[in-house]
Amino acid sequence: MKQLLSLTLVLNLMIGGANLSVAGRLDGESLHQVTREFVTPHLDWGHSLVGGPIRVLFIANRFAGARAAVELAQRLDLNFEAVVTADISNFVVDNIYEASVEGTSKYEKTEELLEKLSGKFDVIVIANVNFSILPAEAQYRILKSVSEGTGLILGFPSDLPFPKLLENPTEDWRKIFAKVDIRTLPRQPQPGQENALLKTYVFGKGRIAIMPMADVGLSTNEPYTPGKWKGRFENSLALAGRVVQWAAGRKITADFTPEIMADKIRYALDPNGPSAVRIRIRDAENREQVNQQVFAKDQAVFEFDTSEFPAGQYYIDVLQGSLDSVSEFGVFGFEKVSPVGVLRVTTDKGSYESGEKLSATVSLEKPLAEDATIAITIEDLPDRRIWARQTLTLPKGTQEVKTQITDLHVPTIAARVVAEIQNGKKRIASTEALVYFPRRKLEIYPTMLWDNIPGSLSEMWAAHLRKNVPDAAGLTHPGEGGEHAHRSALFNQRFIPYVTRIYLMAGENGETLSKGWWLGMPTDEVEALSKDGSFHNPTARDFWKKVIAHRTAGLPEVGPMVYSLGDENNFSYEAGYSPSDGPAFTQFLKDNYPNIASLNKAWGSSYQNFEEIGHPSLKEMREKSLYPLWYAHRRFMERQYADVNHFLADEIRKHDPLALVGSEGSEPGNIEWTVKGLDFWGPYADPVNDEVLRSVAPEKLRTIWWGYGGHLAYPLWQGLLRGVINGNSWYTSMIEPISGLTSVDFSLQETYRTERKPHVDALNHGLAQLLVTTPLRSDGIAILWSHASYSASIMDSRFLNPRDSAIPLMISLYQLGLNFTALTSLQVEKGALANYRILWLPGATALSETESLAIEEFVKKGGIVVADVLSGILNESCGPLPKSRLGTLFGTPDLKGQAPLEIKEVSVDQTINGKKIVFNAKKARQSPEGSIFSINKSGKGLAILLNFSLGMAWNNAEGNPEQFLLSLLELANIRPAIQVEGIEKNDLIIRVRDNGENQVLGLLAAFSEIGKVATIRLLREAWVYEANKGLIGFGKSFESKLDVPFKIFSLFPTKQNPPLLSVSKKSLNLGEAVTLDGTGLSPRGLYRLEVYGPDGVLLPDFTKIFLGQPTGEDGVIRFALNDASGAYRLVLTDIRTGLSTTLPITTNPAQHAEHP
Amino acid sequence: MGLATPIFAQINVVKETRADDANQKNIEFLFPEGKVSYQGKIDESGVIDKDSLLYGLTFQRPLQTNGGWSLWDFLKITVRAEDEALEVIDKCLLTNADILEDQQRVLVSFDWHLEKQGGGDLQVLLAWYPEQPDWVFVKVICKGAATLEQVNLAAFPGNTTGPEERERWFATEKQPPSQFSDETHEIDSEESGMVFFNRFAQENDGCLLVLGNFPRESIKINGSYAVTTSVRFAEGQTEATFALGGFKQSDPKEVIRVFQMEGARNMLNYLNSIDWSPKVDRKKHQSLINNIEELIKGTSNPSDVENFQKLKVAYALNEKNGNSSGLLDNVRELIGLKNSLIEAELMKFR
């Protein structure tokens, strides 16, 4: 993906945007500044320390170390500065991406570090940075500073290549651990192993702490789990805090430990010790059970009864000090053992479709000693909204309970099944199991991000992404057993697994090499593919199967949004010469030609049989001008590429029958073949292929990566307006220069926040969906995309590249606001021309007989066909024809197309059907055969041969080439529906959509036009609304100031009213659902339903955008059992008009809600 | 303790002198992304031998081409002195060329003494920054009696020659793309950015030019062979700055779009922000010397002390004589000494 725009120049030009510094580079704050702006849930350990704040310099890596510094500073009274390195083993990284950002060069970063080192600190923390990568002068100054009394803490990697510093170990680590129970820490090291976590030394006047397992800042990472991670992470930072205090020279004692008994916590206060102690008891998820400050002057002993605590893990935090400050703190743990022993809940499956029945079994290790009840709840993740609750009576002696929950609708991907046994109000024991509810329905306009929630500080990442790019899926490798997908699911982030990679490259002798993601695959099997990686090699196919099985393991249960077959997939036309390719090539020919005679006829050859053809090298084919054979080889490789795509997609579907599969950033090959059988295609932008994809895959998910190029939201605006995309793919959610969403402190990167987000949000709030769901108005214009002709142009320079004419034609049509469809040869053969009035044939050198007949028929029935040069002089096999297949149609029956194209002046001045057609260009590529412009009537239609390519002609036109184009379109009675005045036409895109009820007019102006006023003239009067905003007025023209260059208007014949909204009930209990009554809504309307809570704040998770009358879950608003009760407000907005209706509803507490 | 902030980032720039006497110069500066070369020879009649003359910039040159900025005459300067116009580079042999800075940026100078024109001087400064590897920044300065009359900048977007269908095109910061005709195009003298590119061949390589903020009378461009930008100056103008860039294997449409949106403005900001005075930062140098004074207290190697004393003397002498090249050499050696002293100090911790 990184190659998306590997244009160093463009990057250097792009550097800047809103954050351009005077020096012309991108503001580097997001990569350097560690702020406390983004606050995450945390406990207070010592926000006011006795002795004042500790001055700390963190030297931390970019990816987690920097944020970990903030996490510690949130909890402890630190006055900190930070220097952020590129990564754990690179002080800086020297590449063009980094170079575009201020402060990233070695010089700048060194200067920053040395400047900060000149400050006075109590402690220097090297957090996940290899000490050796620091500049020598910095190393020297740090060590010298330590010898003079500054503390030094090294997390992982803790190698300090200066043995003398470690010559004097101390036993102070014991004092630090005296108040931190090692069993409360991540990865649960065993008691007695404290010294593996922490070693202490003195050097000169300074103290040195080495923390080899502190791999996320000064905390120890462990995989995220909803029930356990939170508490242990907190404890880990308590240890870190104590180490920092010690290293800073603060007093660290071993003077207290709470006494933990079966049903009681006892803590003796020292009358000569700290005047106050805060005791905080919390569960494994930091839910406070007790938080009480006691004073030594008031009592000698603090006791707390824990007998009512349900079974589970608890932590006791002890904060010593005075009324308002803390001198020391510590953390201890205890586990409440259940009287029923180990309690387990299991479910019949790990994954459920919406509405599906869930069966749960709860097992008690020991029989119940007395009558009790059990509550089984389904809580979503990560918010723990409760979607079902069942309470069952358990008679004494019960050891197993089975139950079922039906009609279950959980809105998140992951949820917990929680079972809690109670005796009256006393909670005896609880347990939980994780289950998944795949989200199968793809929204109208989904968003995907490169990368998902990482494995360290996952909760913090998730909170940042949820806040700033809500509901975006994350794309990355699946991890072993789908680990990455499961992690995403815990935070309700949909996942897009990067399952494999299709990379059919050519070996030295043209053999097909398969290079893919073979992670975890046996080396010998991978090696075997280096000899013959062709898809036609059964061993290779078997290997692919294993790859798919391995890489999809664990994925189906979380229901990926789509499966990606790879990023930047590609193949080489030079490949195809593996041992298994030879027979396959012969078979490919047999499959395409019924017999050798038909092949000979198509190719103009005289082979005796298919085997005689062999499979010569590309070089030989070119040298011998074996064009049909050369083209057959190209098609053979395109077919192989498509087949691999389809085969792998089918393999994935074997593991996940509901899977949507595609790939992104990939070469299309023959796009029509490749996307067939796939559900998703996300290429790099290409003016022609994008339109062909829209034509051949209208219902499939189509996205184009952006992030590195363009400003504001131009890449999205362009794609959406043209209709070529229906989703958003952003590179990347990670911390990266230029395009990374995330700053080192996990705040939103500034350029994205100011330049992109407002526009991306506006699209997400309905504008994108409006463009996706409203069909482009048919203007009756078709442009043939002949894949065979394109191949022919590569084969021989006599044949015009269809792109030379197609691209300028398409650009002109964008500017004129006229819609078109790029039709493939296959579509033309199947009769697609019936829906059009004019057909352009750009560089249509190679046409099949069926295709030619369809074109002739189209003209006979009244259609107009416009060709540039040499149409139909080759057949669909790129075999030469004695003369053009369309020669008679164009009135040039002897057109052969053998002469090379010439560059000459163009002068057209003719009258057709009373309409004058004039065009002059200083030069254009043209055929020496025939006249420069000819018209032939055929049946009811016209065939116009320009005999010159549009590319050069457009560039060298005298006057406006669009006038020439318009005059030709006039012949088919095609005229633009609107005129836009007052702004520069260059790069302007105008698209008109029509759903039969209203039109949607979209325009995108060049960046330079921002702030100008555009006047839009219509063919007839209309009520004009700015989409999602409101009424502009009624008339035949209107003005719009381009505060943003992208504008969407809706045009109606009648004035519109706010949408009609009613609901099944206006008062309900929590845990129930309200059904929307959409009978008053237009089937063609696009609506956004928003819900505001009792506190008046928008609840984004409730928002729905739907087309027409809502169906399924779109028509239901579900309230969880533990949602806030009170007065809610439903606001339904017609996105087309911006008009909205508000409806109040009231929710009542769920008194006795039980799930069936 | 005195080991203060100054640090040094050395860039690999090399001066290769093949000839340097009163009648002949052949000097080349190689920097990480290109080179600038001067060759000139006085013939027997006492004038520059045109066949020997070369003032070329190898920069933004597509592989296996002669494209990019002109390898032969990327810059021509006409000055006016004593009421006469003089094409300095064509007519006068280079007087001196030197590296002025090699830390944080490359700064080299080419000097022509205009003895016959009232003793004025023409200086061309070229700067290259690691963080802007795709650009070379040029400043032209007239000193003494001479003033600037015209500067010509020549480039071959893509390549010198090309197939028949290749068209030379340009776009400016404000104007959409236009094809070069055989005529010279005059463009708005307020324009500050230009994109030179091709269509129908060599489409993905091109050159970029940004003009600094200086008064100009006219800007003319011609694309009949080389793409030449001729900037004519208002009377009395003595200085002008330029940023010379390019692109390789990029879509010119995208380049133009970005350039027009803000690329040109960004680069103009950058160009305007350049401090062209050679940073012989004596304060920094003094700080470096102070650092070494501190570090050398801990050394047991007498040759370090002796070397340091020698370097201090040499530095003072070069400073007194205004020998910037000599100063840079001294500073390099001082940095080397400091680094070795730091290494020695670090060894004590091992």
Nearest Cα to A719, choosing from A749, A758, A693, A752? A693
Chain A residue closest to B274 (CA)? A23
> Residue A1121: its pLDDT value, please?
96
Contact predicate A672/A641, CB 8 Å: no
Contact predicate B237/B270, CB 8 Å: no
In order, the DSSP letters of A767-792 are IHHHHHHSPBPP-SEEEEE-HHHHHH
User: Which residues, given as ranges, of chain A have pLDDT below 50?
Assistant: 1-9, 11, 15-23
CB contact under 8 A, B250 and A952: no
Tokens of A1146: 């009231």
Peptide bond into A157 cis (omega under 30): yes
Chosen from B8, B136, B167, B262 to mutate, greatest number of chain A CBs within 10 A: B262
> Residue B328: its pLDDT value, please?
79
d(CA A1002, CA A987): 14
Partners of residue A96 in chain B, C-beta under 8 Å: 133
A162 touches B: beta carbon within 8 Å: yes
> Residue A1114: its pLDDT value, please?
94
For residue A100, give how far its alpha carbon lies from the nearest alpha carbon of chain B (Å): 6
Question: What end-to-end distance do the CA atoms of chain B give, in Å?
Answer: 21
For residue B45, give how far its alpha carbon lies from the nearest alpha carbon of chain A (Å): 46
d(CA A27, CA A14): 12
> Residue A820: its pLDDT value, please?
98
CB contact under 8 A, A1008 and B261: yes
For residue B10, give how far its alpha carbon lies from the nearest alpha carbon of chain A (Å): 9
In order, the DSSP letters of A69-125 are HHHHHHHB-EEEEEEEESSSS-SS--SHHHHTBTT-SHHHHHHHHHHHHTS--SEEE
d(CA A66, CA A702): 36
Partners of residue B343 in chain A, C-beta under 8 Å: 136
Residues present in chain B in total: 350
pLDDT digits (tens, 9 = 90+) for B172-181: 988 888 889 8
For residue B145, give how far its alpha carbon lies from the nearest alpha carbon of chain A (Å): 33
For residue A825, give how far its alpha carbon lies from the nearest alpha carbon of chain B (Å): 26
Please check the confidence at residue B145 and state whether its pLDDT lies above 90.
no
Sorted by sequence, the CB contacts under 8 Å of residue B303 that are 6+ apart come out as none
CB contact under 8 A, A986 and B267: no
A894-898, B231-235, B311-315: segment of lowest average pLDDT: A894-898
d(CA A1150, CA B321): 91
Partners of residue B3 in chain A, C-beta under 8 Å: 137, 140-141
Percentage with pLDDT > 90 across chain B: 58
d(CA A208, CA A479): 37
CB contact under 8 A, A141 and B3: yes
Contacts with B, A 17-46, CB within 8 Å: 17, 20, 22-25
Among B4, B200, B343, beta carbon nearest to A136: B343
The predicted model gives B3-10 an average pLDDT of 47
Contact predicate A838/A782, CB 8 Å: yes
A243-257, B47-61, B322-336: segment of lowest average pLDDT: B322-336
Residue A406's alpha-carbon distances to A225, A359, A378, A389, A1120, in angstroms, are: 27, 9, 12, 11, 16
d(CA A634, CA A637): 5
> Residue A23: its pLDDT value, please?
43
Tell me which amino acid residue A972 is: A
Tell me which amino acid residue A648 is: L
A8 touches B: beta carbon within 8 Å: yes
Partners of residue B255 in chain A, C-beta under 8 Å: 7, 9-10, 13
Partners of residue A24 in chain B, C-beta under 8 Å: 132, 266-267, 269-270, 273
d(CA A34, CA A39): 12
For residue B329, give how far its alpha carbon lies from the nearest alpha carbon of chain A (Å): 19
Strand-strand pairing, A781-785 and A838-841: parallel
CB contact under 8 A, B131 and A25: yes
**Residue in the block written with tokens 């009930």:** A1065
> Residue B289: its pLDDT value, please?
93
A139 touches B: beta carbon within 8 Å: yes
Chain B residue closest to A957 (CA)? B179
Chain B residue closest to A712 (CA)? B261
CB contact under 8 A, B273 and A956: no
A395 touches B: beta carbon within 8 Å: no
A1007 touches B: beta carbon within 8 Å: yes
**A·B CB contacts under 8 A:** 137
Tell me which amino acid residue A180 is: V
CB contact under 8 A, B1 and A9: no
> Residue A117: its pLDDT value, please?
96
The predicted model gives B288-303 an average pLDDT of 90
For residue A903, give how far its alpha carbon lies from the nearest alpha carbon of chain B (Å): 7
A687 touches B: beta carbon within 8 Å: no
> Residue A67: its pLDDT value, please?
96
> Residue A15: its pLDDT value, please?
44
SS3 content of chain A, % helix, strand, coil (to 5): 30, 30, 40
CB contact under 8 A, B258 and A10: yes
Tell me which amino acid residue A818 is: L
> Residue A129: its pLDDT value, please?
97
Chosen from B7, B267, B273, B343 to mutate, greatest number of chain A CBs within 10 A: B7
Tell me which amino acid residue A288 is: E
Nearest Cα to B178, choosing from A950, A989, A986? A986
Q: Cα-flanking dihedrals φ and ψ of residue A922, to 5°? A: -65, -35
Chain B residue closest to A710 (CA)? B258
